[in-house]
Chain A
Amino acid sequence: EPEVTQTPSHQVTQMGQEVILRCVPISNHLYFYWYRQILGQKVEFLVSFYNNEISEKSEIFDDQFSVERPDGSNFTLKIRSTKLEDSAMYFCASHDREIYRSGYTFGSGTRLTVV
């Protein structure tokens, strides 16, 4: 079964450093997302991406965050200057054209620890 692949599975970084979280969505999917989950709590929407641009973003997704699809397969989330409160599990998700009937396919997540 097709998978969404995220790397790395765990990243530890110092406060103030830049991190890039990588995702390879399912190849025929068109809609891509980043979500985060702090310590097994609520899953929070960060950003959606369609047709090579951001379609929607949350108030969490401030100027410190950016997304890119540099080569048509990878989908990256960059945090420019990490803060302690950015520590969370970050999930990439994608789905196909049938927006309203499709659940997301989530990646297995990247656990980001900011120290």
Chain B
Amino acid sequence: AQKITQTQPGMFVQEKEAVTLDCTYDTSDQSYGLFWYKQPSSGEMIFLIYQGSYDEQNATEGRYSLNFQKARKSANLVISASQLGDSAMYFCAMRGGGGFKTIFGAGTRLFVKA
């Protein structure tokens, strides 16, 4: 069975600093994808970044990067130069096994302080 674990229910970061949101996963599949989504207080879900299990380089999208450590089964999200608008819930997610569904972690609520 697949599982996503996010152990930080809440995180605080000072504006303009970098922050790392932790995510570990468990799967027996060889091919899988890892995702991060952002959910602001308005409630919508926004796709941020993707990492494939066979990708040799860590994914980056603007201020977002994914620190992928396959042997440790971790896929941490790094947000550089935090902005007030980054305050939101962040979900780590995984899709694999040739299936269609994506499973989500419990989420980490990030608070950016001015």
Interface residues of A (CB under 8 A from B): 31, 33, 40-45, 48, 50, 55-56, 58, 89, 91, 93, 99-106, 108-109
Q: List 27 A-B contacts (CB under 8 A).
A: A33-B101, A42-B104, A42-B105, A42-B106, A42-B107, A43-B104, A44-B104, A45-B103, A48-B100, A56-B99, A56-B100, A56-B101, A99-B95, A99-B100, A100-B33, A100-B52, A100-B95, A102-B50, A103-B35, A103-B47, A103-B48, A103-B49, A103-B50, A104-B45, A104-B102, A106-B37, A106-B44
Residues on the B chain within 8 Å of A44, using CB: 104
Residues on the A chain within 8 Å of B13, using CB: none
Asked whether A58 lies within 8 Å of B101 as measured between CB atoms, the reply is yes
- Among B35, B48, B100, B106, residue most surrounded by chain A Cβ atoms (within 10 Å): B100
Say how far A94's CB is from chain B's closest CB, in angstroms: 11
How many interface contacts (CB-CB < 8 Å) are there between A and B? 63
Residues on the A chain within 8 Å of B45, using CB: 43, 91, 93, 104, 106
Residues on the A chain within 8 Å of B106, using CB: 41-42
- Among A33, A42, A44, residue most surrounded by chain B Cβ atoms (within 10 Å): A42
| In the complex, per-residue mask of B48-59: 1 if CB is within 8 Å of any chain A CB, else 0 | 111010000000
In the bound complex, CA of A109 to CA of B40 (Å): 13
Say how far A55's CB is from chain B's closest CB, in angstroms: 5
Residues on the B chain within 8 Å of A42, using CB: 104-107
Q: How large is the interface on B (under 10, 10 to 19, 20 to 34, 35 or more residues)?
A: 20 to 34
- For the complex, is B91 an interface residue (Cβ under 8 Å from A)? yes
Asked whether A45 lies within 8 Å of B102 as measured between CB atoms, the reply is yes
Say how far B51's CB is from chain A's closest CB, in angstroms: 10
Residues on the B chain within 8 Å of A33, using CB: 100-102
Residues on the A chain within 8 Å of B110, using CB: none
In the bound complex, CA of A109 to CA of B52 (Å): 27
- Among A41, A50, A106, residue most surrounded by chain B Cβ atoms (within 10 Å): A106
In the bound complex, CA of A93 to CA of B37 (Å): 13
- For the complex, is B43 an interface residue (Cβ under 8 Å from A)? yes
